[in-house]
Amino acid sequence: METYRNPVLASLPAHLRQFVVPQNYARYSAIDQAVWRYVMRQNYAYLKEVAYYPYIPGLRKAGLSIERIPNLQAMNDSLSQIGWGAVTVDGFIPPSAFMEFQAHRVLVIAADIRQLEHIEYTPAPDIIHESSGHAPIIGEPEYAAYLQYFGEIGSKAMFSAQDFQLYEAIRHLSILKERSDVTKEELNAAEAALVDVQQHMGEPSEMALLSRLHWWTVEYGLIGTVEDPKIYGAGLLSSIGESASCMQPAVPKLDYTINALDYSYDITTAQPQLFVTPDFKHLRTILDEFADTMAFRVGGKYGMNLAIDSGNTCTVVYSSGLQVSGTFQQIGREDVLTYIRTIGPTALAIEDQQLRGHSKAQHADGFGSPVGAVAGWDVALEDCVPQELSDRGWLVGQIVEIQFESGIVVRGQLLDQIFHESKLCLLSFTDCNVQDNNSGEIYFEPSWGRYDMAVGENIISVYFGSADKSAFESKISVSQHKTNIVPENEDRKLHIQLYATIRALREENKAIDLQQFLQEHEFLLSQNWLALVELLELAMDSSQTDAASRIEKKLGTLSAKDASLKKLIADGIRLAKDQETEILL
């Protein structure tokens, strides 16, 4: 993985590096560059009035320019100065991975750029949204701290199986919508699949609810007062259509509170309402209010139930500090937590570092252990020091029997004891029997081999994913839905060459008779409104009034033929004519 000489990227863990793809700057055609330039010029002209004040100077701080799509090296040279970095990925990545990148102070930027046909807005993540939307506000310390903190919270959020289905459905549809060769049948099938998943989501998971807070702040947030809000959300900052329409009185502006959790969102359409925060500190207050209800802070039976329902790798943390990572299943009583069990590969860790001898290979068939207090003891087992255990006759090689208040009894020959920072975390036995004397259920028999027993009266935290991800998740299953680059056909290549010629005229400041140019490229220009807008700018700059008049007439014809182009063309004409627009980037 390319680190762009940025220490933030150099420290990324291996399991996240697998999502990173090369930017491959040569992929961007002259049309792509024109799309970037148009959006950025429009954004600059409009957003300097309605965006939160750090946005405009933040563009420069993030290594962005109006003229061309950003190069990841330039972005990282700039972002590294404020302790952040940027990498390119293939479209949507799983929310948990996205949150982890954010926690590591890394912006994930979709390598692709929207098609000209989707210049106002695309449901697929693209380099316009991720770089010009997110990056400029990161220079604001309080906001950067909020982003990182959100990532830390989000990376612990519990998923449901339905969340994964929704992620795959959205990713697949967004990829199709940006494909130039997609068929109507493919789109209809993908949209139907997404609707089907959405209709069977059930109760929203922690991640689904947390995603709403992310959407109404990081993506579509406003700051200030309801009467006079400014834009800071990346989804609005990168949408030349919605950044204007959202400020209209017809779009309700609500005070940002925990009640934002009640508002779901649709990525394919303009938002029906927006939320306004008085400042970035308030965002963290609301996030903490929700986080206090999450399994990673609540733990216990509540957290275990979420882990079991997720059907995916989760981690439970005993009050001793021992972390157990695996896929959990229901066992024992439903009303109280007395025993945990995993199925399949499981690993044990302390402080997110896998314990030697307790990897997935050692616990390939699962792991089980009691939870609770030892009957008749006035001290928690985890708080016993080696001398106390010795005084009770708990010596390696001796037979030890532990009776828990729940009725579970562990009896076997002691093999090992693991302590960490004065806490007893793990006991290992051979010739061991584990049984619930109340129900008669047997949890472990001597013939099964070595028994490792986690120590801890309580489960203090439960969260999604593994504790030591680099050891446990050495290979992540990346989505099978890939962004496909459709080869350019001969007709498309002619259009690209037209845009490349116009860019060269502007950048090299060549004197040229634009009337003659219009005549020579009459057919292609009649199909390319953005090319005409760029030519109008050249005509205005070189005072070729006849050519400018002719170009504007052609744009009027295109606008009359296609209503969807009306605002785009009008905005392009306005900027081309505005000689007083100060471009600082």
According to DSSP, the residues that pair with 230 across neighbouring strands are 223
According to DSSP, the residues that pair with 278 across neighbouring strands are none
For residue 174, pLDDT over 90 is answered with: no
CB distance 339 to 187 below 8 Å: no
Using a 10 angstrom Cβ sphere, with 0-12 exposed, 13-18 middle and 19 or more buried, the burial of residue 88 is buried
Confidence of residue 483 (pLDDT cuts 50, 70, 90): low
Any idea of the CA torsion for 22, 27, 33, 36, to the nearest 10 degrees?
-40
Contacts of 490 (CB under 8 A, 6+ apart): none
In whole angstroms, what is the distance from residue 314 CA to residue 329 CA? 11
Confidence of residue 480 (pLDDT cuts 50, 70, 90): low
For residue 198, pLDDT over 80 is answered with: no
Structure tokens at 484: 């496909």
Question: In terms of pLDDT, which residue wins out, 183 or 300?
Answer: 300
Domain ranges of the chain: 7-159+205-287, 307-472, 490-577
**3-class DSSP assignment, residue 79:** helix
In whole angstroms, what is the distance from residue 392 CA to residue 250 CA? 74
- Architecture of the domain made up of 307-472: Roll (2.30)
For residue 438, pLDDT over 60 is answered with: yes
Cα 207 vs. chain centroid, distance in angstroms?
Answer: 11
For residue 313, pLDDT over 60 is answered with: yes
**pLDDT, average across residues 468-496:** 72
**Per-residue pLDDT tens over the stretch 71-97:** 999 999 999 999 999 999 987 788 888
In whole angstroms, what is the distance from residue 21 CA to residue 16 CA? 11
**7-159+205-287 homologous superfamily:** Aromatic amino acid hydroxylase (1.10.800.10)
Residue 200, marked binder:
no
**3-class DSSP assignment, residue 553:** helix
**pLDDT, average across residues 111-127:** 82
Using a 10 angstrom Cβ sphere, with 0-12 exposed, 13-18 middle and 19 or more buried, the burial of residue 62 is buried
**pLDDT, average across residues 278-294:** 98
For residue 332, pLDDT over 80 is answered with: no
Task: Quote the DSSP letter at residue 62.
Answer: T
- Mean of pLDDT over the chain: 90
CB distance 318 to 324 below 8 Å: yes
Give residue for tokens 């004040």: 53
For residue 193, the surrounding DSSP H or E stretch is: helix 184-198
**pLDDT, average across residues 373-392:** 94
For residue 44, pLDDT over 80 is answered with: yes
CA 469 vs CA 12, 16, 155, 473, 536: distances in Å: 12, 9, 12, 5, 54
Q: What are phi and psi of 466, to 5 degrees?
A: -100, 165
**Among the ranges given (47-51, 378-382, 419-423, 515-519), the one the predictor scored with the smallest mean pLDDT:** 47-51
Confidence of residue 267 (pLDDT cuts 50, 70, 90): confident
**pLDDT, average across residues 357-382:** 96
For residue 535, pLDDT over 50 is answered with: yes
Structure tokens at 75: 């972005």
For residue 582, pLDDT over 70 is answered with: no
pLDDT in the model for residue 584: 43
In whole angstroms, what is the distance from residue 495 CA to residue 347 CA? 56
Residue 134, marked binder:
yes
Structure tokens at 265: 């969102």
Give residue for tokens 């992310």: 214
In whole angstroms, what is the distance from residue 179 CA to residue 487 CA? 11
CA 301 vs CA 338, 349, 549: distances in Å: 9, 21, 73
Instruction: Tell me the DSSP string of 354-389.
Output: EPTT-STTTTTT--EEE-SPBTT-SS-GGG--HHHH
**Among the ranges given (136-145, 171-180, 202-211, 231-240), the one the predictor scored with the smallest mean pLDDT:** 171-180
**pLDDT, average across residues 534-552:** 94
Residue 15, marked binder:
no
pLDDT in the model for residue 583: 46
pLDDT in the model for residue 115: 86
pLDDT in the model for residue 57: 85
CA atoms within 13 A on the CB side of 303: 25
Confidence of residue 562 (pLDDT cuts 50, 70, 90): very high
